[in-house]
Structure formats: C-alpha cells, structure tokens
A and B are shown apart, each in its own frame.
Chain A
Amino acid sequence: MFQRIAESSVIDGVDIQLDGEICRVPITLSVAAAVLFIKGDADYRRHVDGHARAPFCLMGCCHECLITIDGEPNRRGCLVSVAEGMSIERQLGGSQDDG
C-alpha cells in the first residue's frame, strides 16, 4: 500500500521481526512506517471495539499506532525507529491495556 519511490536516496536496511517473520526495512523508518510499508494499513491494529485501526497522525498525538515492541505493549510505533533485531508484534487481539 506504500512503496518507495525510485528517486529516494539509497538507505541502509535493517532486519526486524514482524510477528515472527523477518523483514528487511529502510533504517530511517519508524516502527509504524515499517509496518505500513510491509503489511499496509488493513491489519495494523485491532481497537477496543474490535474494529481495525491504523496510524492516523504519525507524529505522536493520535495513539492509533500502538504496537508491541520488544515485548512491551502499547508503544507509539511512530516515535520509535526500527533497529536491527527488533521484535514487533501487532496488537490484533482487540484488547488494550491502558498505556
């Protein structure tokens, strides 16, 4: 659903684990951007009401990008840069602890 344009500069990649699957993504991306890049927005997160939600503002305000990073749930994926070996799990269960 989002793709890299050919004209953008060459960026190093890092390997991250998204729900157990190893994926290579540009190092400049945030976790939220990386998930949008790999999976698109349809299955980013399940909200408390059971409906699908996806990042809305990507600048730390809306909290729609909540995601589990290295085992810690409800982190704002837009504020965390991807890193080599990082483990990311989407919160698709439809529950949400107060974060």
Chain B
Amino acid sequence: MGELCQAEIAIIGAGPAGMAAAIRLTQAGIRPVVFDMGNAPGGQIYRQLDVPVIGETLSGTDYYRGRDLLGDFSRADIDYRPRSQVWWGQCESDGVSLGVVDAAGVSRWHVKRMLLATGSMERSWPFPGWQLPGSMQAGAAQILFKEGGLVPEASPVLAGSGPLLYLLAWQYCRAGCAPQRILDTTPASRYRLPLRYLRGAWQGRHYLVKGARMMLALKRAGVPIHHGVEALEATGKHRVERVHYYWRGHWHHQDTSLVLTHFGVVPEPQLGRAIGIPYDWHEGQQCFLPERNRSLQARTRVWVAGDGGGIGGALNAEREGRLAALSMLTIPTNDVADRKRERRRLEQRRATDLAVRPLLEAMFRLPSHWLSEQPDTTLVCRCECVSLGELRRAIEQGAAGPNQLKAFTRCGMGPCQGRECGESVTRLLSTVQALPPQEIGYYQVRPPVQALSLGELAATATDA
C-alpha cells in the first residue's frame, strides 16, 4: 500500500458543502486534500456544471447558481482528488486514519482533522416491482439529464413525493417530453399547510413560490397530477410495462415503460457510521442523522456538513461547509473578531433558510406504515433478493434487531452494503415491534464502506 500520506485537513466529498469548506480553508492558508467519488467537483446538485450540457432555460436557475462556487474551487489551492473513494476510516487521538482507493491503487492517509461532506442519497422506498428495469429514481433521471442531455424516448410516469419530483417533471416539460402523469403520494390537503406555518412559509417563500410556479406550469402543459395516491405497483414480464396506483378508493392502471420515483433524500450514512459517529432518528426528516454540536462537530476531530448531516439543501450545505471550516481553524490568528462576526452571519442566514424545513417536512411527510402495508412478495433487499415476507417470518422467529435480521436472512449483505434496505429494516421492525426507530437502531456498518476489487483488497492485506 506504500507509504503513509499526511494532510492537515481532509474533506470527503466535493458537493456544495465540501467545496465551500475547502475554499474557506485556503483563505486561511491551509491546503486541504479533497477526496471525491465524482469525476469533477459539484456533487450531485452541480454535476457536470464545470462543462454544462444543458442550458439554464432547461435546468432552472438553481443549477447555474453553483457556477461561482465551482469557479472559486477551481482557482483555489486545493489538493483535489477526483475518482477517489474512502473505503475505511478510524478516529485516533491525534487525528483520523483513512484508506483511499483511486486509479493508482490503495493508499493510507493520516489527517489531523476531517470533514465529512458526503451528501445525501435518494430514500429507498420499496413497492412491488421497484426492482424491474424501467423503474428508476428521479435523481438518476436528473443525472442522465445533466450528464448528457438525456431524456426518456417515451413519456414516463413520475411517482412519489417531494420537490424533486416536480422539478424533474418541469424540466422534462421544458425539454419537450412531458410526463404522462404525476402520481403524488402527498394528500392535496397538505399543500395548504403553509397557512399554518406562517413564519416558515414567509422565510421559505422562495421555495414555495418556485414550487407553485412549477405545479402551475405542469397544469398548463396538461400533465395530470393525482394527489393522495396511496399505493403503487410496477408490473411487466422482464421490465416495467405498466404501473398501477391506488387513488380515491380504486386501483388505476397506466401503460408505461418507465416509472421514475422519488421519496425524498436521506444522509448517505456509510462512512460516518463506520468511524463511529452516533446517529439519531429525526422525526421530522424521518431518517437517522449524525449527532453534531453547534459547530457541526461530530467527533473530536471530525465535522459533518451539508445534507450528510441533515437535509437542508444546497445553499444550506454551502453555509455549513463554511461554518465547519471556521470551526476547524484552530490556529490562533489576529482576525478572531472578524471570524466571530463571519460565523454569526452564517449562523443567522442558515437559521433563516432552515426555517422552512419543518413546513416542508410536514408537507412531504411519508406514511411510516407504507412498508408494512406492502404485499409479502415485495423485495426489500434488492441485492440479496430478500422479500418483505421473509423478513416478517424472521422477525416472528425471533430476529429482534437489524443485525439479527441480517444474519437470519442475508438482508443487507449484498454489494450495496445495506444502503438500500437499512432504513426499511429499521422502519419494519419499528412497526412490528411498536418501538420507536431510535430504539430499533440500524445495521452495524463495517469497512470496506466502498466496494474494492480483489486486487485492491490484496494490496491492503499485504500492508497490514
């Protein structure tokens, strides 16, 4: 594995939080190393923005807003390492040890401080047929759109809940491939919630106005929107041929070759959990979030910023990145007062921006009993093909927690390492045992947290 590489500060991820943190650190004379799984900085939100493929009229303005950040990042003196995956990490008294794999092979790092800016992933939300080709997440469709200007040949069905669903529908309309229909699992009455959350609604009016405009544009384009869809199913012999949805007391059917789903996003947990950060269930966001203090610090030498610490969106991620950078700067300097002011300003803006979150969480709240109402044949673990019925039986036979359920059924033991089934398993156990998700917990996550090839594994073993 070669010699030990060293750095003052490592940042994992180059989305808005990681980029903003790196830029702020360079302003204080520190050259951070940034490990990024992507091929270019930007994360998922600003993917391909370094060499944009789609214009602003198609993407919407929020995408192009990232250009300043990308520009600053590319001009700053940063040890940026694209196509680098951190597969192992361990907190130590004098810093953090990391195992990194890139095109050159595996390397070991020791850094004094680390920022996790690993972002979020689409929430896994099983329904019958979700594993068929022709069923994709809305985020995946957006990536195809940003990466190559790719849109579906045949008009898709969009289903689920949350702002991204409408953004994608709006983008597809602009690109001339309007969706057949939108199956919104959010009841129509929820869209009146802003009237009850006036402070949040006022401070988040930018988001609400944007959402309302998109919905209006979709209605004008003649896209049917069904609010309050209660169940979903995709069927087909070898791929999706039809979607079925339960709406207003009846099952409805729609022929389609593509169903794009979105059920919100959750923090990507693997590295944070593997290095021992405690995660707590957040009732509003309906997922586990890492424990952080006001300075966004999760362990003595580890900080977490951006959506990986809690869902707040790209602007919030940028501010959190800067806040974390300020907190990581421990060397005393003569601009302490300036920094305090900078921190206060960032904290105020962050609080203003986050004020809309409780409203958005209430609006797009998912039914926590969804999974337990699915038929037994529904796959929960896509990798190991473990069905809901098998999980139910294992629970009846005494599998009391996520790790036991894993050992009983192989659920979560496949290549994705439980990313796609972890919170489903927590949710199912929580419903069956009538215990809060916090008490159920989550899988024990162990390295490697990124898939290594056999050759790479061998290289790490010879060093150990």
Contacts and interface: CB of A to CB of B under 8 A. Distances in A.
Looking at chain A, what size class is its interface with the partner chain?
Answer: 35 or more
A48 B150 contact: no
B150 A37 contact: yes
A98 B136 CA distance: 24
Contact of A8 (B54, B257, B416, B453): B54
A36 interface: yes
Contact of A57 (B37, B55, B137, B175): B137
B281 to A, nearest CB: 20
A2 B238 contact: no
B148 A37 contact: yes
A28 B57 CA distance: 20
Interface of B is mostly: loop
A9 B148 CA distance: 9
A64 interface: yes
The interface size bin for chain B is 35 or more
Contacts of A66: 415
Contacts of A90: none
Residue from A8, A33, A75, A98 with most neighbouring chain B CB atoms (10 Å): A8
A33 B147 contact: yes
Given A37-B150, A54-B134, A62 B420 contact: yes
A33 to B, nearest CB: 6
Interface stretch (B138-146, B182-190, B296-304, B326-334): B138-146
A5 B176 contact: yes
A79 B450 CA distance: 12
A58 B140 CA distance: 5
A28 B51 contact: yes
A58 B121 CA distance: 10
A52 B414 CA distance: 17
Contact of B416 (A29, A42, A44, A62): A62
Interface stretch (B87-95, B151-159, B198-206): B151-159
A53 B83 CA distance: 25
Contact of A52 (B55, B133, B151): B133
Contacts of B257: 1
A8 B239 contact: no
B385 A99 contact: no
Contact of B150 (A2, A51, A60, A79): A2
A5 B151 contact: yes
Interface in A65-99: 66, 72, 74-76, 78-79, 81, 96, 98-99
B385 A52 contact: no
Given A57-B121, A62-B382, A63-B451, A8 B149 contact: yes
Contact of B453 (A44, A48, A72): A72
B285 interface: no
A64 B382 contact: yes
Interface in B212-260: 238-239, 257-258
Contacts of A96: 415
Most B C-beta atoms less than 10 A away, residue of A48, A49, A57, A76 = A57
B52 interface: yes
Given A57-B121, A61-B268, A63-B416, A41 B133 contact: yes
A74 B53 contact: no
Contact of A30 (B55, B134, B147, B177): B147
B319 interface: no
Contacts of A55: 136, 140
Interface in A20-35: 26, 28-30, 33
B424 to A, nearest CB: 13
B133 A44 contact: yes
A58 B451 contact: no
A61 B415 contact: no
Given A2-B150, A37-B148, A7 B451 contact: no
A41 B147 contact: no
Contacts of A64: 382
Nearest to A81: B39
Pairs A-B, 8 closest by C-beta atoms: A8-B149, A54-B133, A58-B140, A63-B415, A41-B133, A63-B416, A2-B150, A58-B143
